[in-house]
């Protein structure tokens, strides 16, 4: 591992309390966090007193892996995770104080919607999809303290929604942020416990932490505590989600002993890439201002491509990736990344990758965990693990259909309400008298039988019983369009089975398995190794790639049209800065002349972000074909091809 520079060294070994590392992209901020944790452990700070939060589960995983390499098994006790995962750990540990049990479920998307729907229908309020979506985001804003209104109806809905979640032994994503604040501020013993676990508290990507997350920091770290935050105001890209650069200023107010260290050496990108990025971000006025020097020499100019339409743009990207992989020594597919502003733009690229037989991985695409068969089986497993999970009950009882209709379910719901029990418990209740009582009881017995299997049986047999007794496997085979589809769906379930058996082998139970799955599902990425990466610019924060292509560099796409209206141009420019600074050696920016919008062909104009960077480091490939650079690059390319050919011919 290469050495730290002086400023990095100072940050890694700083012992004077609160510390802010404020520095541009690629200057080693994340590396400082990792090295600092290693240094603390080497100094015999107990691992259990170190907590680090990162922005994504993936970043946490990478950091943990690096520390495992450095420290071995000691790294096990380190707490490195996202704010949300930390929130879940706090909520689970102190579930009792929240009137919940330790195996709390986390409701996301669909489950949250059905909970809200049932509240609305009980309150005799309209519950169409639009209304539900609108209310979900308003309740979320309310919980995050972003909405400060006095709307009685909204408060009433929120109250009943929260009660329903409590009754179902569940929380939603916002609760994972908000409930820990409640716990930490209302219970001195809880606060003392977590303050001890966060005696060294480190935060990566601090510029995108929200007001609530800052409250966490305040509750966990006293004024002179060991707080280390690293961030870059120029990379704040989640303003719409309540992240506030203001947090950087609040730090100075609330932690007067704060020391600020600036890193000015960039180790990631070539001089040209850095010059283009720096000159672009200089157009923003709301900046703290930073210096960033490249360490790698000037490198190649940044290519700007013009294509007739998105299909041709995509083919061009795909063939370029193929060619570069051939002509660059030691280039792997996963050294390439294609970035776009909005996720729908992945479609053409994905098709081109398939055509060219290039392995690719879409970060945050339709997740494995969103697939119907996975959700169906997980509903059963959640119910087995938690008899109070009414939403899992609702999904499970309808998959496959058991001839139990809405009216029967409604009556079951009333029975449950009257007896103060969950829907599943109602099915098992001796007093249940109902014309469908028999089928309901049968369903209840099935879940009880599975619970027994999962508790006392062999892991693989329990899982197979779940597939068989629920008739899910039969339903999948009966409903699939053809054999191949049935196999694919069963294959997905077998993947869950494999994880379950691994998990059980390590002594885990069904609840902890479901908790892991929840974290994985949130991360939405299977292993991207060996594949070209396709992702939105938002998802690329903190990552780096040798070769980066930013597609759709058109006015109205990037910057996004809404940015013009809502005065969010500066944030959009920061997003562009993030995109450009992901690249190490090669950066290509690409736009189309024509694009289909709402079924119409429309002319598009190049993005203003193509005109803002220092033009001497840009090469508009399709305009100035005959430049020296272009010739030089063509020569390089031919020479590399020849080298490769010779290598192939000589059989090496
Ligand atoms: P971002 O703002 O994009 O999150 P960052 O500031 O977190 O960037 P890192 O990802 O930590 O930057 O580092 C960027 C690259 O520079 C990494 O590949 C890292 O290994 C490398 N690097 C960091 N410090 C040094 C150093 N002192 N010598 C050589 N390489 C370094
Ligand atoms: Mg970083």
Half-sphere exposure of 156 (CA within 13 A, CB side): 9
Question: Rounded CA gap, 444 and 439, in Å?
Answer: 9
Q: Are 382 and 514 in contact (CB under 8 A)?
A: yes
Q: Which residue's alpha carbon is at the smallest distance from atom 13 of ligand 1?
A: 28
- Which of these three, 168, 198, 217, is where a domain ends? 168
Does 342 share its domain with 437?
no
CA of 296 from ligand 1 middle (Å) equals 12
Question: Rounded CA gap, 21 and 206, in Å?
Answer: 10
Does 353 share its domain with 380?
no
Does 35 share its domain with 182?
yes
Number of the ligand 1 atom closest to the C-alpha atom of 5: 27
Helices and strands, number each (H, E), in the chain: 26, 19
Does 145 share its domain with 211?
no
Does 512 share its domain with 535?
no
Is 383 in a helix, a strand, or coil? helix
Q: Is the CB of 26 under 6 A from ligand 1?
A: yes
Does 544 share its domain with 624?
yes
pLDDT at res. 405? 66
Q: Is 286 part of any domain?
A: no
The residue range of the domain holding 344 is 293-359+527-645
Q: Is 280 part of any domain?
A: no
Number of the ligand 1 atom closest to the C-alpha atom of 581: 3
The CATH number of the domain where 321 resides is what? 3.40.50.300
Pocket test for ligand 1, best of 59, 267, 277, 537 (most atoms within 8 A of CB): 267
- Tokens at 607, concatenated: 């993005």
For ion ligand 2, residues whose CB falls within 5 Å: 29-30, 542
Does 303 share its domain with 421?
no
Beta bridge partners, 203, equal 53, 229
Q: Is 571 part of any domain?
A: yes
Q: Is 652 part of any domain?
A: no
Does 503 share its domain with 450?
yes
pLDDT at res. 244? 63
Q: Is 272 part of any domain?
A: no
**What does pLDDT average to in each consecutive run of 10 residues of the chain (652 residues)?**
88 96 95 96 96 89 92 92 94 92 77 79 80 88 78 88 83 93 97 97 92 93 96 86 71 94 95 96 87 90 94 95 88 95 86 89 70 88 91 82 71 79 88 77 93 93 92 87 79 84 86 79 65 93 96 94 81 96 97 81 92 95 68 74 76 60
pTM of the model: 0.78
- Which of these three, 522, 548, 564, is where a domain ends? 522
Q: Are 131 and 120 in contact (CB under 8 A)?
A: yes
Does 163 share its domain with 218?
no
Q: Is 480 part of any domain?
A: yes
Question: Rounded CA gap, 148 and 158, in Å?
Answer: 14
Tell me which residues are annotated as active site: 29-30, 204-205, 235, 582
**Residue 640 CB neighbours (<10 A):** 16
Does 415 share its domain with 509?
yes
Query: What is the dihedral angle through the alpha carbons of 472, 478, 483, 489, rounded to the nearest 10 degrees?
Result: -30
pLDDT at res. 524? 46
Does 305 share its domain with 334?
yes
The CATH number of the domain where 463 resides is what? 1.10.486.10
Number of the ligand 1 atom closest to the C-alpha atom of 8: 27
Instruction: Answer positive or negative: Cα dihedral of 282, 286, 292, 296.
Output: negative
pLDDT at res. 317? 97
Number of domains in the chain: 4
Q: Is 116 part of any domain?
A: yes
- Which of these three, 522, 548, 565, is where a domain ends? 522
Q: Is 354 part of any domain?
A: yes
Question: Rounded CA gap, 337 and 106, in Å?
Answer: 32
Q: Are 383 and 393 in contact (CB under 8 A)?
A: yes
Does 190 share its domain with 257?
yes
- Consult the annotation and say whether 26 binds a ligand: yes
CA of 200 from ligand 2 middle (Å) equals 19
CA of 359 from ligand 2 middle (Å) equals 26
- Consult the annotation and say whether 552 binds a ligand: no
CA of 649 from ligand 1 middle (Å) equals 39
């Amino acid at each position: 591992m290469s050495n730290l520079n002086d400023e990095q060294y100072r940050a890694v070994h700083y012992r004077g309390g609160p510390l802010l590392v404020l520095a541009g992209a690629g200057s080693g901020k994340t590396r400082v966090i990792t090295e600092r944790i290693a240094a603390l452990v080497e100094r015999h700070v107990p691992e259990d007193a170190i907590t680090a939060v990162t922005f994504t589960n993936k970043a946490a995983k990478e950091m943990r892996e690096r520390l495992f390499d450095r420290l071995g098994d000691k790294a096990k006790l380190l707490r490195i995770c996202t704010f949300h995962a930390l929130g879940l750990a706090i909520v689970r540990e102190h579930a009792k104080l929240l009137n919940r049990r330790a195996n709390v479920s986390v409701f996301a998307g669909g489950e949250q919607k059905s909970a809200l729907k049932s509240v609305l229908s009980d309150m005799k309020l309209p519950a169409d999809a639009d209304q539900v979506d609108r209310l979900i985001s308003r309740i979320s804003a309310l919980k995050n303290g972003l909405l400060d209104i006095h709307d009685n109806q909204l408060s009433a809905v929120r109250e009943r929604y929260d009660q329903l979640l409590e009754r179902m032994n569940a929380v939603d994503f916002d609760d994972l942020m908000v409930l820990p604040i409640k716990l930490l501020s209302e219970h001195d013993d809880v606060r003392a416990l977590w303050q001890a676990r966060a005696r060294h508290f480190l935060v990566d990507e601090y510029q995108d932490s929200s007001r609530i997350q800052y409250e966490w920091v305040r509750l966990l770290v006293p004024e002179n505590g060991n707080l280390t935050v690293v961030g870059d105001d120029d990379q704040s890209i989640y303003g719409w989600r309540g992240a506030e650069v203001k947090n950087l200023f609040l730090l100075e107010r609330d932690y007067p002993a704060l020391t600020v260290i600036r890193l000015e050496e960039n180790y990631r990108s070539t001089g040209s890439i850095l010059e283009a990025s720096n000159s672009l971000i200089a157009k923003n006025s709301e900046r703290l201002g930073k210096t960033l020097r490249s360490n790698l020499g000037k490198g190649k100019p940044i290519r700007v491509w013009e294509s007739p339409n998105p299909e041709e743009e995509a083919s061009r990207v795909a063939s370029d990736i193929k060619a570069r992989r051939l002509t660059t020594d030691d280039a792997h597919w996963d050294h390439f990344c294609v970035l776009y502003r909005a996720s729908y733009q992945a479609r053409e690229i994905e098709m081109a990758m398939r055509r060219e037989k290039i392995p690719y991985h879409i970060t945050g695409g339709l997740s494995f965990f969103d697939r119907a068969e996975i959700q169906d089986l997980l509903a059963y497993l959640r119910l087995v693990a938690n008899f109070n999970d009414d939403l899992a009950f609702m999904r499970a009882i309808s998959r496959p259909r058991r001839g139990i209709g809405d009216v029967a379910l409604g009556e079951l719901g009333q029975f449950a309400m009257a007896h103060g029990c969950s829907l599943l418990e109602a099915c098992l209740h001796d007093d249940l008298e109902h014309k469908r009582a028999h089928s309901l009881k049968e369903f209840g017995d099935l879940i009880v039988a599975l619970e027994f299997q999962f508790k006392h049986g062999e892991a693989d047999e329990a899982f197979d019983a779940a597939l068989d007794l629920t008739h899910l496997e039969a339903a999948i085979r009966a409903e699939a369009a053809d054999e191949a589809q049935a196999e694919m769906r069963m294959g997905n379930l077998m993947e869950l089975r494999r994880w379950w058996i691994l998990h059980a082998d390590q002594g885990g139970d069904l609840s902890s398995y479901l908790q892991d799955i929840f974290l994985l599902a949130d991360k939405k990425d299977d292993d991207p190794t060996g594949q070209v990466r396709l992702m939105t610019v938002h998802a690329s924060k903190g990552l780096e790639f040798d070769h980066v292509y930013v597609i759709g560099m058109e006015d109205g796409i990037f910057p996004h049209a809404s940015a013009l209206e809502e005065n969010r141009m500066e944030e959009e420019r920061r997003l562009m800065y993030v995109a450009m600074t992901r690249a190490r050696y090669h950066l290509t920016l690409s736009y189309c002349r024509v694009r289909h919008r709402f079924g119409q062909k429309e002319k598009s104009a190049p993005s203003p972000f193509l005109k803002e960077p220092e033009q001497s480091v840009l090469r508009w490939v399709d305009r100035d074909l005959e430049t020296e650079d272009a010739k030089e690059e063509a020569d390089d390319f031919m020479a590399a091809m020849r080298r490769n050919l010779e290598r192939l011919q000589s059989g090496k």
